[in-house]
């Protein structure tokens, strides 16, 4: 199983050699087998990438994340479809029933708010806020038409970062950390969606005609709290999103938490969650989708950055 996320801060040249990526920087040469890699994050604005390597990345289903001058991920390059039965999967995806999609979204948001309540319990036990989140979970309806997700987000972020905090201010280091972490998770889920033959444009709740990753943005929701808890623990007093912060956020994918009856890295949990999602859409059995439990998440405690 691929497990490495490679962060390339500065490089002169990146190319393919046999079945490995070669990163050239000054007089140094770094070689990493493609079979080990799930994501490459490219921050260097002067880096040259060969088309031969780009072609190989699609064969190995490796996502390439491109960042701008502020180190904000602005694009994802991934294989178009790497599944042997992609056409059949997409036809099934188009035929998914609205009732089943609405029920999945209800459960998906339940998972997200449950995770938010767990974050508060772990790092900032605001009893009133936690009780509100738990009440919102019981009130979520089909497709979350009453927008419990939105109400929960306000309660949650106010409890976590203070009542003056807003997610709309991109200049805040906290938001920079959240956005960076979410983007890395989004890239990983995108490569898994494609690997399982799903069409990322065809979402459950997200249905924008301008968004190529509607389904990805659906599936990422329960995983956002993993980024939130790390940012709260490690960045709430910081003035900048540093290289060390970015590297640590990327490494969250390799940290373990509980899912089903075992402890797995987030890379594995994401894949299992997507497998469970597909099983539900094929059978209509919501018990196929397990709760994501982050109480034992390795990234909840302060890390060395």
Q: Which of 36, 51, 77 is the last residue of a domain?
A: 77
Please tell me whether residues 120 and 221 are part of one structural domain: yes
Please tell me whether residues 70 and 166 are part of one structural domain: no
Please tell me whether residues 40 and 95 are part of one structural domain: no
Q: Kindly state whether residue 69 falls inside one of the protein's structural domains.
A: yes
Please tell me whether residues 14 and 109 are part of one structural domain: no
Q: CB within 8 A of 37, min separation 6: which ones?
A: 2, 4, 5, 6, 21, 60, 62
Q: What is the mean pLDDT of the chain?
A: 91
Please tell me whether residues 133 and 174 are part of one structural domain: yes
Report the relative pairing of strands 13-17 and 48-49 from DSSP bridges: parallel
Quote the percentage of the chain above a pLDDT of 70.
96
Q: According to the model, what pLDDT value does residue 301 have?
A: 82
Q: Name the residue range of residue 53's domain.
A: 4-77
Please tell me whether residues 139 and 63 are part of one structural domain: no
User: Is 149 one of the annotated binding-site residues?
Assistant: yes
Please tell me whether residues 220 and 175 are part of one structural domain: yes
Please give the tally of structural domains in the chain.
Answer: 2
Cα(286)–Cα(79) distance, rounded to whole angstroms?
30
More confident residue, 180 or 304: 180
Q: Kindly state whether residue 305 falls inside one of the protein's structural domains.
A: no
Please tell me whether residues 226 and 134 are part of one structural domain: yes
257: helix, strand or coil? strand
Cα(142)–Cα(102) distance, rounded to whole angstroms?
5
Q: According to the model, what pLDDT value does residue 246 have?
A: 95
- Condensed to tens digits (0 to 9), the pLDDT of residues 143-160 reads 999 999 999 999 999 999
Q: Kindly state whether residue 174 falls inside one of the protein's structural domains.
A: yes
Task: Tell me: pLDDT of 242 over 90.
Answer: yes
CA dist 223 → 54, 151, 228 (Å) = 28, 18, 9
State mean pLDDT over 286-305.
85
Q: Kindly state whether residue 129 falls inside one of the protein's structural domains.
A: yes
State mean pLDDT over 18-34.
92
Q: Kindly state whether residue 178 falls inside one of the protein's structural domains.
A: yes
User: Is 206 one of the annotated binding-site residues?
Assistant: yes
Please tell me whether residues 53 and 100 are part of one structural domain: no
State mean pLDDT over 2-19.
87
Q: How far is residue 273 CA from its own chain's centroid?
A: 12
CA dist 19 → 7, 32, 53, 60 (Å) = 19, 9, 9, 10
Please tell me whether residues 113 and 137 are part of one structural domain: yes
Q: Which of 77, 100, 120 is the last residue of a domain?
A: 77
CATH number at residue 65: 3.100.10.20
Please tell me whether residues 167 and 36 are part of one structural domain: no
Q: Which of 77, 106, 131 is the last residue of a domain?
A: 77
Please tell me whether residues 171 and 263 are part of one structural domain: yes
Task: Tell me: pLDDT of 81 over 70.
Answer: no
CATH number at residue 143: 1.20.120.920
Q: How confident is the model at residue 54 (pLDDT cuts 50, 70, 90)?
A: very high
Quote the percentage of the chain above a pLDDT of 90.
70
């Amino acid at each position: 199983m691929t497990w490495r996320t490679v962060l390339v801060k500065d490089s002169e040249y990146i190319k393919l050699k046999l079945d490995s990526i070669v990163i050239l920087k000054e007089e140094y040469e770094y070689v990493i087998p493609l079979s080990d890699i799930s994501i490459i994050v490219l921050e260097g604005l002067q880096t040259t990438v060969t088309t031969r390597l780009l072609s190989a990345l699609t064969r190995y289903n490796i996502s390439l994340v491109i960042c701008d001058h502020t180190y904000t991920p602005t694009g994802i390059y991934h294989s178009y479809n790497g599944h042997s039965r992609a056409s059949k999967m997409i036809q099934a995806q188009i035929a998914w029933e609205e009732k089943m999609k609405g029920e999945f979204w209800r459960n998906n948001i339940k998972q997200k708010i449950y995770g938010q309540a767990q974050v508060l319990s772990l790092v900032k036990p605001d009893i009133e806020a936690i009780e509100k989140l738990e009440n919102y979970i019981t009130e979520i309806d089909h497709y979350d038409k009453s927008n419990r997700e939105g109400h929960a987000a306000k309660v949650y972020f106010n409890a976590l970062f203070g009542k003056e905090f807003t997610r709309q201010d991109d200049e805040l280091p906290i938001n920079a950390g959240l956005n960076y972490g979410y983007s890395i998770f989004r890239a990983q889920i995108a490569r898994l969606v494609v690997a399982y033959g799903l069409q990322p444009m065809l979402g459950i709740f997200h249905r924008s005609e301008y968004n190529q990753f509607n389904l990805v943005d659906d599936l990422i929701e329960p995983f956002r709290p993993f980024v939130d808890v790390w940012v709260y623990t490690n960045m709430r007093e910081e003035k900048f999103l540093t290289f060390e912060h970015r590297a640590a956020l990327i490494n969250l994918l390799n940290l373990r938490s509980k899912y089903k009856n075992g402890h797995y890295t987030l890379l594995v949990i994401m894949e299992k969650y997507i497998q469970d999602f597909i099983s539900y859409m094929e059978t209509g059995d919501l018990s196929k989708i397990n709760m994501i439990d982050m109480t034992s998440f390795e990234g909840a405690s302060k890390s060395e950055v």
